[in-house]
Chains A and B, each alone.
Chain A
Amino acid sequence: MEAQKERSMILQKEMVSGLFNELGRAKETGRKVCYTFVPGNLSELIRTFDLLPVYPEINALQSAMRKKSAGYIKEAEKNAHSEDVCTYVKCDVGMMMKGNFGPTGEKIPEPDILLLSYTGCFTFLKWFETLKRLYPNAEVIMIHTPYQEAGKMTPEMTQYMVRQFREEVIPKMEKVTGIKYDEEKLKYHLNLAKEAQDWIAKIFETTKHKPSPIDAYFAGVYYIGPINIGFRGTPEAVEYYKALYEEIMERVRLGLGPITPEGEMKEEKYRLVVEGPPNWTSFREFWKLFYDMGAVIVASSYTKVGGVYDLGWRHDSTRPLESLSEYCMNCYTNLNIPQRIDLLSKCITEYSADGYVTNSIKSCNSFSAGQLGMMREIEDRLEIPVGFIESDLVDPRYFSYSNIKNRLESFFQMLEQRKKIVKTETV
């Protein structure tokens, strides 16, 4: 991405380094630190209490991109974390055991709060149990987020969560920070969050254009960076997404395709929707397998883990705590399987995708459950070619370049053939 320094990139860089700077100085400034996860992240509430967020998942994926994850995982395994444990956890725990130096090389401060606001992945519970053992002084705040078993959020579910906010989350945050809960401040952040979400939704809709001006997976993971590391609900994020949108619309105006690490993609041959997180240890290689073939991802489920905005849901400052609750329940992995299928089908149809690819992650239960069934259902419903590959998040041992390449090559040739058939049938 360094190839082209757009304004949005500079803004993003400033946000990230600003945050890590503040984290580095947290001891001096006396600011309290809150470790939390991307799905169901309560950025607006965290900001209301002037906390500094740390996202272990983000650190893990950053470690992988900097080729440090193998060592961290080894460290965790040495300390009795089994081979089958989610590799995000092992990478993160390993990093902490080795001094907790974050992506910028600065030491990450210890947590004052361990905030578990999304419980859809059982691993999260175990992860924080481990962290609690490492940092016994941290206050644990856990909210139970009900799964959308029946495919909807009911008022009872929302009430159930609001009560937890009132009785558990807010009092504990007040206790740790010594700051009184200020609902007006929360509303201010919620309004900004809504604004950012509007921009994000618009950004991911630009893939309707042909050629698509962006890659909604490989570049998409950079775009969702700011909201996934705690900037949702800030003026900086609004500014970033606005700038990004303008840049993208400029590409649309010029009829340009997405930018890849090797420059502009010349020809858009295939439009794909991808399910599952990317592999981080060989992120560039993985991406290259797609752009070399002229494949652009027009939508991905992974960019929705930090919030699903496609269907119109937004934070609403008139119902602050209800809104936080709904946000948690509306994470991608908290949707039931039929809901996910509907959402992905909508993406495939609206963004006129030619194919659907599942990247199954060896160590992530949350994402992998139901993936095959979803793929079958989508294949049947939309009569679209589907492809299946397997890798891992941050454990380089599970990324087999030749295996993935072999499967993707076959998949792209399938798409190629189909295009020709469709063409001759319509002539």
Chain B
Amino acid sequence: MSDLNALAKCLKDIENQLTDCMKCGMCQAVCPVFKETGDEGDVARGKIFLLERLSQELLTDAKGAKARIEKCLMCGTCAANCPSGVKILEIFLKARAALTEYLGLSPVKKLIFRGMLKHPERMDTLVTAASRFQNLGTSKADPALGTRCSTLLSNIIGERHFLPLAKKPFHKICTSLDTPAGKSGLRVAFFPGCVTDKMNPEIGEAVLRVLNHHGVGIFMPKGQACCGIPALASGEQHTFNSLLSHNVDLFEAGDFDYLITPCATCTATIKEIWPMMAPENSKARYRAGQWAEKTMDISQFLVDVLNVAPAGADKAAVKQVTYHDPCHLEKSLGVSRQPRQLIKASADCELVEMAGANTCCGNGGSFNLQNYSLSKSIGMKKRDSILATGAGVVATSCPACMMQIRDMLSQNHDKVTVKHVIQVYAETLE
């Protein structure tokens, strides 16, 4: 099997990291997928073992191993709790790239990643066109949450309740910005991210409003591409590289003190994955390294840099808001206090904690597409925790989590509004 040898060579890069796993199995205690399935192949230890066997050419079924390794939310809970400090996410990303290189990309993914995602302008045009026809064959699912569902498309999207694409994406509402620092004396680069841009432009608008309120100058270059994580998670390193260098060229054109995003996944990707996965000795790697320090989630920026503090004791709280910790913010970056501070800083809001606020909602990007029923059973637990608080609003810091939570709530016609933390805060500004 000379072929298997080629794959083993690709995996040599991560071999040292694999041996750090002492097989204690403690990842079983925290993995949301393992909690549902109880299958060793679904937990980090099992996946790392399969990679070890592939790297030693002792496992022949590379395709089977790839399927196991891809069945992961990439939530990072295992890594955050690993006694040996195994770099699990890095291992999985590199392994997915190696396995995809070896086994090739499926035609559908090829079309999505290389045909669309890789070309931001083409992607924007397609999405704009799609938004005009999207309501064909769909019907309103829950008017309060604004979701729709589709029997016509059920073969593709299942029973999901989804928010339609925005009539006008954020990049059409606000094409680009280059404003000087105001009273804060600071200027930030703003990376809205795909979901904000195409589905929730109101999040982008809220960010702008808040930044203007605090006198922060904004550099938002035109034509931003995806942060690249969907491609990378599917092992599509080429598309990732191309998206990264596209974004790097855009952002290095401006001066900024911080790079902020309203998306937990984008923040974690820019801050950690860009420098980790950018091609060696490339300009992208150099820039990513420079920016990592400056990259922040919007709440973290407001609280840690601008010192936004909770409102005084005299505030009359009328709205109960509960907060869900996105994995990429809490597990990957350790940011959990700041979004809560921001809710407390919002004039009429009271924060009510839910049980297990930091457990994964089950979205996991493409995990949701490939393992919907599993994703849903994890998500329904999150829904139960949200409802148990009695709060009328659930806030979070990741548009993808919002999508998942909205689907779960909508399917049960729960009367809970889903918002980004920055929307909650922006709404209470004078």
A, B bound = no
Q: Which residues of A contact B (CB under 8 A)?
A: none
